[in-house]
């Protein structure tokens, strides 16, 4: 049964069908071929999976909050704050790019929103200051990888739902790794900026720093509201996402005056479109996963992998390699949805903490945002700069190497990701 499902699924993927539709066709094909399955189960699992989870509602709300912030003056306030903090160093605007992505990632939770909002301004600005266009674009694209790692991460929400884990624990687990990924990319920036003699930004006066910080505080309140509300138990993740949406709707028009109410229909339409795609994938994954589980396929895979990789560190390395390969043709949410039901039982069987495993899955899948041929952030960067994929591949390599190096460190030392959730009492 599972073999038939996977063969049909693989055939339609090779024919170019979207992965969600291929999963639905595979599940439907298996239900027709095997009398033990009733085809009516497919739509039942689709609807039931989406309607039974209150947690899943947080994903479209986080998407909406991020899109609202990206279109308002929030992005500019974040860039100004990053400039007064790190702009004084050699290659200052490159560090501003990294720091802005780390700040903005705490608002949007989306890599695509990050590179769209920040890259549109920073790439032309860096070129005007003497930075090479390919370097500025590659840095902006790579820096966006931090956004899905630092909370609120949409990928982390999906993993928490799939693995039946605490969203608050997953958010807390992403704070230190997200910072480390950003710092790790600062290493090639340091080397390249000194080699090419990229300029410094003038150091700010104390009054300039106070003014910029004051202007950025309303933007910084969005991640504080989200994380503070969840960590102190004031909100559920879904309620925190809803509060963030309301706050994002009020702050940019009133305080930054850079957002037009006429843009709201397009913002809501774009958010609904992306949320609909994720919802469609989740629904069809439910039917696909049910057929796999019914056939006992995940348990057979778990036994096989446990035999090949009996040690937790070897299993984690296999997962990282698998995710980096899958990231070349699947989106991060697709990778999480397809693989976690199969791999999580193996991870727990070999002694990997589910929160640590989830963090590795989030970081490894996020790399797919910048790897060809379907890296979404890569395409956004190409659209902003006008450069081809071939032109961007070489300047991307140092940043890709930095991200993977940090990922290997996170995999080797689980306490890096588990320290904060444990300290806050989310895990024991």
**Domain annotation covers residue 289:** yes
**Domain annotation covers residue 49:** yes
Expressed as residue numbers, the domain containing 390 is 2-423
CB 169 within 8 A of CB 232: no
Eight-class DSSP state of 199: P
Token couple for 42: 């497919």
Q: Tell me which residues of the chain have a pLDDT lower than 70.
A: 1-6, 18-20, 29-56, 70-72, 252-253, 256-261, 282-283, 285-290, 292-303, 305-306, 309, 374
The pLDDT score that the predictor gives to residue 53 is 59
The pLDDT score that the predictor gives to residue 286 is 65
Residue tagged 């999480």 (tokens): 336
**Domain annotation covers residue 255:** yes
pLDDT digits (tens, 9 = 90+) for 164-209: 888 889 999 999 999 999 999 999 999 999 999 998 888 888 888 8
Q: How much is the pTM?
A: 0.82
Eight-class DSSP state of 12: H
CB 410 within 8 A of CB 364: no
**Domain annotation covers residue 44:** yes
The pLDDT score that the predictor gives to residue 221 is 83
**Domain annotation covers residue 104:** yes
Q: Which residues of 90-104 are buried (b: 16+ CB within 10 A; e: fewer)?
A: ebbbbbbbbbbbbbb
Residue tagged 């939770």 (tokens): 109
**Domain annotation covers residue 428:** no
Eight-class DSSP state of 214: H
CB 271 within 8 A of CB 60: yes
**Domain annotation covers residue 62:** yes
Distance CA 299, CA 342 (A): 8
Report the domain count for the chain: 1
Token couple for 215: 């202007």
Closest CA to 183 of 98, 118, 103: 98
The pLDDT score that the predictor gives to residue 139 is 94
The pLDDT score that the predictor gives to residue 266 is 83
pLDDT digits (tens, 9 = 90+) for 258-279: 655 677 788 888 878 777 777 7
**Domain annotation covers residue 68:** yes
Closest CA to 103 of 243, 199, 224: 224
């Amino acid at each position: 049964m599972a073999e038939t499902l996977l063969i049909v699924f693989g055939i339609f993927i090779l024919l170019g069908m979207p992965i969600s539709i291929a999963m639905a066709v595979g599940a439907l094909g298996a239900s027709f071929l095997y009398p033990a399955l009733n085809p009516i189960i497919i739509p039942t699992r689709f609807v039931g999976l989406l309607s039974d989870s209150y947690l899943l509602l947080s994903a479209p709300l986080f998407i909406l909050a991020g899109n609202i912030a990206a279109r308002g003056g929030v992005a500019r306030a974040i860039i100004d704050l990053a400039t007064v903090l790190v702009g004084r160093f050699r290659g200052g605007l490159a560090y501003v790019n990294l720091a802005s992505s780390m700040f903005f990632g705490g608002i949007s939770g989306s890599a695509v929103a990050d590179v769209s909002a920040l890259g549109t301004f920073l790439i032309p600005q860096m070129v005007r200051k003497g930075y090479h266009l390919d370097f500025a674009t590659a840095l902006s694209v790579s820096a966006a990888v931090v956004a899905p790692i630092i909370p609120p991460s949409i990928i982390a929400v999906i993993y928490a739902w799939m693995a039946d884990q605490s969203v608050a624990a997953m958010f807390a687990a992403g704070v230190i790794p997200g910072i480390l990924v950003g710092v790790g990319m600062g290493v090639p920036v340091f080397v390249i900026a000194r080699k090419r003699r990229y300029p410094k930004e003038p150091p700010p006066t104390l009054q300039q720093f106070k003014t910029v910080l004051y202007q950025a505080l309303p933007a910084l309140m969005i991640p504080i509201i989200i994380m503070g509300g969840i960590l102190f138990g004031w909100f559920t993740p879904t309620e925190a996402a809803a509060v963030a949406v309301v706050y994002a709707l009020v702050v940019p028009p009133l305080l930054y005056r850079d957002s037009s109410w006429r843009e709201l229909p397009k913002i809501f339409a774009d958010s609904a479109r992306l949320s609909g795609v994720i919802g469609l994938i989740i629904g069809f994954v439910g039917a696909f996963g049910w057929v796999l589980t019914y056939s006992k396929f995940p348990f057979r895979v778990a036994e096989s992998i446990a035999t090949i990789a009996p040690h937790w560190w070897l299993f984690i390395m296999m997962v990282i390699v698998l995710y980096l390969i899958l990231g070349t043709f699947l989106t991060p949410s697709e990778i999480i949805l397809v693989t976690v039901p199969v791999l999580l039982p193996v991870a727990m069987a070999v002694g990997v903490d589910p929160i640590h495993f989830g963090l590795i899955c989030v970081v490894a899948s996020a790399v797919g945002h910048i790897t060809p041929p379907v890296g979404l952030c890569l395409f956004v960067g190409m659209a902003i700069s006008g450069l081809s994929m071939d032109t961007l591949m070489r300047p991307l390599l140092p940043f890709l190497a930095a991200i993977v190096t940090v990922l290997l460190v996170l995999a080797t030392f689980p306490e890096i990701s588990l320290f904060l959730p444990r300290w806050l009492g989310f895990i024991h």
